[in-house]
């Protein structure tokens, strides 16, 4: 059996997509310059959310949509993490990932909303993003939350502002989060929601000891310095929402004998840049370990930003804050969006720099050509 065949299906699907990305395998277009008659070929992207080449425009379109949700207040960045002892159980199976990540989202979001209601006496809204990695690609599931510094009063008649540099007490957030996460995790195990692979991995007694050990550890919740305003939030969101485990620019070298060297921030050394070299097989194992279950939603909105309530409650928040309505950005083609963001005109001929590239033929994917022959 080949190494690819031995992979979980979700892994091999990502590998196949990334290998085929922007190659003739996926088809594309034949282009011709209307000035110098040079021919160019443009191949389609795989659009897989784990592909390092396919996230830029997706991220920018998502950020445009979020601009319509911004309020003229300070924003906080809050992070929820769980102890390392629970990580192997979550990552041993795709179904375990789905359940474990759902519990993480549920416990973190309920904690934030509950503590805000009791301490701030307000209903808050926030966006949560799941990340599962460290800088060295090890497994470390955690939730990033971008939260406006305030919320709607419980009677909906005023906006309650937080203190400039303080959102909610982190110690209380951590304690509530730990209780909720362990409660939901134990309930999922006792109701046999996890697949058989987990039941074989830990007997009920072993699982109970695991929970006891985890309860002794800190469920770390921390908040970074608040943003100065909405513009900084948008810029910051782009760093987190569509990030993958590692981007191409961090990979320094790949040798013929199968060694991969990449950069990372060393948190134990004041976040200074460091380098790590591992085998290509270990690199792929670490990278693919962060592939999400098919269809899993890793960006979610809660409170008054949740889909069911957003239209009405966001309008109310703007009214209470005397904030102007932000006009939605008009739909743009990817070519127009790319030029606006980077200044690069993808339709301009790269050879003569005068003419425009015109599509003269559609290139079918290789598989499609084989099927119709």
Distance, CA of 171 to CA of 107 (rounded, Å)? 15
Asked whether the predicted pLDDT for residue 329 surpasses 70, the reply is: no
**Mean pLDDT taken over the chain:** 87
Asked whether the predicted pLDDT for residue 5 surpasses 80, the reply is: no
Q: How confident is the model at residue 1 (pLDDT cuts 50, 70, 90)?
A: very low
Assess whether 283 and 182 both reside in one domain.
no
**pLDDT: which is higher, 210 or 131:** 131
Assess whether 201 and 279 both reside in one domain.
no
Q: What angle do CA 173, 141, 300 make, to 5 degrees?
A: 70
**pLDDT: which is higher, 367 or 143:** 143
Assess whether 176 and 92 both reside in one domain.
yes
Asked whether the predicted pLDDT for residue 6 surpasses 80, the reply is: no
Distance, CA of 59 to CA of 99 (rounded, Å)? 26
For residue 193, the model assigns a pLDDT of 79
DSSP secondary structure of 246-279: --GGGEEEE-TTSEEEEEEEEGGGTTEEEEEEEE
Residue at 53 is within a domain: no
Q: How confident is the model at residue 194 (pLDDT cuts 50, 70, 90)?
A: confident
Residue at 57 is within a domain: no
Residue at 269 is within a domain: yes
Domain residues for 266? 247-289
Dihedral, CA of residue 234, residue 239, residue 242 and residue 246, to nearest 10? 170
Assess whether 232 and 363 both reside in one domain.
no
Distance, CA of 317 to CA of 233 (rounded, Å)? 18
Residue 332 DSSP one-character state? -
For residue 367, the model assigns a pLDDT of 65
Residue with tokens 């919740």: 221
> How do strand 357-363 and strand 139-148 relate by DSSP bridges?
unpaired
Assess whether 36 and 139 both reside in one domain.
no
Q: How confident is the model at residue 10 (pLDDT cuts 50, 70, 90)?
A: confident
> How do strand 159-161 and strand 39-43 relate by DSSP bridges?
unpaired
Burial of 148 (0-12, 13-18, 19+ CB in 10 A): buried
Residue at 141 is within a domain: yes
For residue 371, the model assigns a pLDDT of 39
Assess whether 164 and 153 both reside in one domain.
yes
For residue 202, the model assigns a pLDDT of 55
Q: How confident is the model at residue 328 (pLDDT cuts 50, 70, 90)?
A: low
For residue 65, the model assigns a pLDDT of 78
Query: How many other CB atoms sit within 10 Å of the CB of residue 291?
Result: 24
CB burial readout 224-241, b (16+ within 10 A) else e: eebbeebeebbebbbeeb
Q: How confident is the model at residue 373 (pLDDT cuts 50, 70, 90)?
A: very low
Query: How many other CB atoms sit within 10 Å of the CB of residue 140?
Result: 16
Total structural domains within the chain: 3
Q: Which two tokens stand for residue 40?
A: 């160019």
Whether residue 159 contacts residue 320, with contact meaning beta carbons closer than 8 Å, is answered with: yes
Q: What is the pLDDT of residues 90-110, one digit of tens each?
A: 998 888 999 999 999 999 999
Residue at 326 is within a domain: no
For residue 305, the model assigns a pLDDT of 94
Asked whether the predicted pLDDT for residue 50 surpasses 50, the reply is: yes
What integer is the mean pLDDT of 224-252?
A: 80
Q: How confident is the model at residue 239 (pLDDT cuts 50, 70, 90)?
A: confident
Assess whether 352 and 281 both reside in one domain.
no
Asked whether the predicted pLDDT for residue 370 surpasses 50, the reply is: no
Which range has the worst mean pLDDT, 2-11, 50-59, 301-310, 357-366?
A: 2-11
Assess whether 189 and 283 both reside in one domain.
no
Assess whether 176 and 301 both reside in one domain.
yes
Which range has the worst mean pLDDT, 89-93, 219-223, 290-294, 361-365?
A: 89-93
Residue at 21 is within a domain: yes
Indicate the pTM of the whole model: 0.88
Residue at 56 is within a domain: no
Which is nearest to 166 in space by CA: 146, 143, 149, 145?
Answer: 149
Q: Which two tokens stand for residue 61?
A: 């379109």
């Amino acid at each position: 059996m080949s190494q690819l065949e031995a992979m979980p299906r979700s892994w091999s699907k990502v590998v196949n997509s990334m290998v085929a990305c922007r190659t003739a395998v996926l088809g594309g277009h034949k282009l011709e310059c209307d000035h110098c008659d040079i021919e160019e070929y443009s191949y389609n992207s795989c659009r897989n959310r784990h592909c390092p080449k396919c996230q830029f425009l997706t991220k920018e379109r998502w950020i445009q949509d979020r601009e319509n949700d911004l309020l003229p207040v300070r924003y906080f960045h809050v992070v929820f993490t769980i102890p390392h002892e629970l990580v192997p159980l979550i990552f041993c199976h795709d179904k375990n990932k789905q359940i474990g990540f759902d519990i993480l989202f549920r416990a973190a979001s309920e904690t934030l909303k509950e503590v805000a209601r009791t301490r701030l006496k307000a209903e808050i809204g926030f966006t949560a993003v799941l990340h599962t990695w460290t800088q060295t690609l090890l497994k470390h599931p955690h939730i990033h939350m971008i939260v406006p510094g305030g919320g709607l009063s419980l009677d909906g008649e005023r906006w309650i502002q937080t203190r400039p540099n303080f959102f909610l007490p982190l110690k209380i957030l951590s304690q509530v989060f730990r209780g909720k996460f362990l409660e939901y995790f134990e309930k999922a195990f006792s109701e046999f929601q996890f697949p058989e692979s987990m039941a074989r991995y830990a007997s009920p007694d072993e699982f109970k000891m695991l929970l006891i050990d985890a309860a002794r550890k800190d469920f770390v919740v921390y908040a970074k310095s608040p943003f100065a305003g909405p513009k900084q939030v948008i810029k910051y969101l782009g760093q987190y929402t569509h990030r993958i485990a590692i981007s191409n620019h961090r990979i320094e070298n790949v040798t013929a004998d199968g060694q991969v060297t990449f950069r990372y921030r060393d948190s134990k050394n004041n976040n200074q840049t460091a380098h790590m070299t591992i085998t290509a097989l270990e690199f792929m194992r670490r990278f693919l370990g962060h592939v999400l279950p098919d269809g899993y939603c890793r960006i979610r909105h809660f409170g008054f930003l949740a889909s069911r309530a957003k239209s009405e409650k966001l309008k109310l928040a703007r009214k209470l804050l005397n904030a102007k309505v932000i006009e939605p950005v008009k739909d743009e083609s990817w070519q127009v969006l790319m030029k606006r963001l980077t200044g690069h005109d993808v339709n301009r001929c790269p050879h003569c720099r005068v003419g425009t590239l015109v599509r003269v033929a559609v290139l079918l994917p290789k598989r499609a050509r084989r099927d119709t022959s």
